[in-house]
Amino acid sequence: MSTKIIGYKRENGKIGIRNYVAIIPVDDLSNNACESVAKIVQGTMALPHPYGRLQYGPDLDLHFRTLIGNGANANVAAAIVIGIEPNWARRIAEGIAKTGKPVAYFGIEGHGVLKTIEMAARKAKEFTQYATAQEKVEADLSDLLISFKCGESDTTSGLGGNPTAGRVGERLIAAGGTVIFGETSETTGAEHILARHFATKELSEKYLQTHRNYLKVIEDSGEDLMGSQPTEGNIAGGLTTIEEKALGNIQKAGRKEKCPVQSVLDLAQAPAGPGLHFMDSSSAAAEYITLMGAAGAVLHLFITGQGNIVGNPVVPTVKISANPKTVATMGEHIDVDVSGLLSRELDLDAAADKVMACLVATARGRFTCAEALGQKEFVLTRLYPSA
Amino acid sequence: MAKHKFLLHEEEDSVGVAVADIEKGEKVYGAFLHGDKLVDVVANDNIPLGHKIAVKPVKSGDFVIKYGEKIGKCYQDIQTGDWVHTHNLKGDRWGKK
C-alpha cells in the first residue's frame, strides 16, 4: 500500500497536512477580537478558549506551552496572537516565531477592540495570501507526527480498535515515523505490563513514578475515580473496572518488541526523535488532542467503542470503531469501520490496512468526519485555579 | 463450523466478550482471538454486545481473569454462563471507600 502523501513543508522542515492561518487569543477577553478577524479574513481560523488571566507558575507555563505549540504546529502556516496586554502576546508570538513561520501579535489595551481587529485583520490578509501561496510537496505518512487516543471505550476497543491502532503504530514506527500515546489514569491496573514496553529501565521507572505521582494527587484529594473511571459510557459498553479498561487501552502501544517507548513526555512537550512516546496526560479527549497539537501532532487516530464525537481545529482526527452498533447508529462520526474484527471477517493486518488507507487519504487532504461536521474542540488543560 | 457469539483474549480467561446480543438460555460459542478453538456455554442471562459472559465458575472473593490478567474481584459466586458486570465484579484498584 502506498503511504505517499502531499503536505506542506514548513520553514523548520516539519511536514503539515493542513494550511491554517491561526488567530490565537492569549486570554478569554481576546476571543471576540480573534473571532472577528477570522470572520473578516477568509482562510483564517480563531482558536477561542476560556483561560489566560491570573494564571501563575507551572499552570501558566503550560498555558504558554500549549498556545505556542499549537501556533508552531506544522498544520499552521502563519499565526496572529491577540491579548488584552501586549507582553504575554509577544511572549507567545516569539515562541511561535522560532519555527520561522510568519507571526504577528497585538495588544488590545491602548487601542480598543475595533482598532485591534482592523490592525490584526490587515496582517491576517497578508498571512492568508502567504499561506495559500505555499506549494504542496510529496512526503510519506511516516514523516508526520501522529497521536493516538481512545475514548468512550468499551470492550470492543480492547478486542479490536486498540490492537488495530497498535498494529498501525508498529508500521509507522518501522518506517521511521513518530507516534505519541498517553492517558496516565487509564493505565491503572495495567501499569506493570506497560512498564515493560519502555526502551530502558530508567524510562520504565520514570513512567511508573509518573503514574504513582498521578495516583497520589487522586488519593490526596480524598477521592477515588469510581464514577469517573470507568465512565458511565464505558460501563454501558460492558467495561466493568479500571483494570479491564487499562488492559484494553494499552493495546494501542503495539507489541513491545516492535516499538519500545522512547520517552516519557511532560504535558504538551514535543518528542525529541522518532519512535513511540508516552505523554503523561489526562484521558479527557478534547484536552488530550489539544496537548497533542501543542506537542506537534498533525494527525490524530482516535479509537472509540460507544461513539466519542471529538474533533480538533488544528489536528485532523480520524475515528475508528470495532463496535457494529456504534458504526450503525453513529456512522457519520466513524471514519473507519473495523467491526469485522469481532465477526472475524477482518484480521488485525487487514484492519490496519483500512486505517492506514484512511490516514493517507486524510493526509492528502480529505476531510475527516469530525472536520466535515465541524467538531473542533480546543480545550486547554489547567493544573490549578487562577490567582 | 458454528458461528461464534463471543470472543476470548487468552486461554486462561474466565470471561469472554459478547460480539452480538446473547439471550438467556441460548447455547453460544466462543472463539479465541488467536487460533481455531471454540468453547460453548449456555447463557444464564441476557448479555448485550460488549458485555462479559463467564466461561468458568469463579468463587466470591476470587479474581476474574481477562487478557490473562486480573481485572477485579467478584463479590458473589459466578457460574459458567453468567453475565459478569458491576453487579458481581468490582475493581481491586479503587472503589474501596
Last residue within a domain, chosen from A133, A150, A174: A133
Which run of H or E residues covers position A362?
helix A348-363
Q: Are residues A216 and A361 in the same domain?
A: yes
Say if A260 falls within a structural domain.
yes
For residue A337, what pLDDT is reported? 98
- For A74, A316, A374, the CA distances from A371, given in Å and listed in that order, are 17, 7, 5
Non-local (6+) Cβ contacts of A68 within 8 A are A92, A95, A96, A294
For chain B, what is the radius of gyration of the CA atoms? 13
CA–CA separation, A342 vs A350, rounded Å?
13
B96 has a pLDDT exceeding 60:
no
Does the distance separating the beta carbons of A242 and B91 come in below 8 Å? yes
* Fold exhibited by the domain B6-90: 2.30.130
Summarize pLDDT for A88-118 with one digit per residue, the tens: 999 999 999 999 999 999 999 999 999 999 9
Question: Averaged over A257-270, what is the pLDDT?
Answer: 97
Q: Are residues A129 and A168 in the same domain?
A: no
Does the distance separating the beta carbons of B97 and A188 come in below 8 Å? no
Cell of A116: 485591534
Residue A48: asked if its preceding bond is cis (omega within 30°), the reply is no
Tell me the HSE value of B85 on the side-chain side, using a 13 A CA sphere: 21
Q: Are residues A76 and A146 in the same domain?
A: no
Interface contact B67, partner A, CB < 8 A: yes
Q: Are residues A129 and A181 in the same domain?
A: no
Say if A6 falls within a structural domain.
no
Q: Are residues A109 and A144 in the same domain?
A: no
- Residue labelled with grid coordinates 481485572: B71
Last residue within a domain, chosen from A106, A133, A160: A133
CA–CA separation, A204 vs A206, rounded Å?
5
Say if A378 falls within a structural domain.
no
Helices A86-97 and A57-72 cross at an angle (nearest 10°) of 50
Is this prediction's pTM over 0.90? yes
Interface contact B56, partner A, CB < 8 A: no
Q: Are residues A102 and A144 in the same domain?
A: no
Cell of A154: 468499551
For residue B97, what pLDDT is reported? 44
Range of the domain at A297: 140-373
User: pLDDT band at residue B1, thresholds of 50, 70 and 90?
Assistant: low
Burial of residue A12, with CB atoms counted within 10 A of its CB: 0-12 exposed, 13-18 middle, 19 or more buried: exposed
* CB neighbours of residue B42 within 10 Å: 11
| ipTM field | 0.96
- A249 with A162: CB under 8 angstroms? yes
Interface residue of A240, A245, A247 to substitute, partner B, most B CBs within 10 Å: A240
Last residue within a domain, chosen from A115, A133, A151: A133
Chain B residues with CB under 8 Å of A307 CB are none
The number of domains in chain A is 2
CA–CA separation, B70 vs A146, rounded Å?
31
- Residue labelled with grid coordinates 497536512: A17
Q: Are residues A176 and A244 in the same domain?
A: yes
For chain B, the domains span 6-90
- A263 with A277: CB under 8 angstroms? yes
Interface contact A44, partner B, CB < 8 A: no
For residue A225, what pLDDT is reported? 74
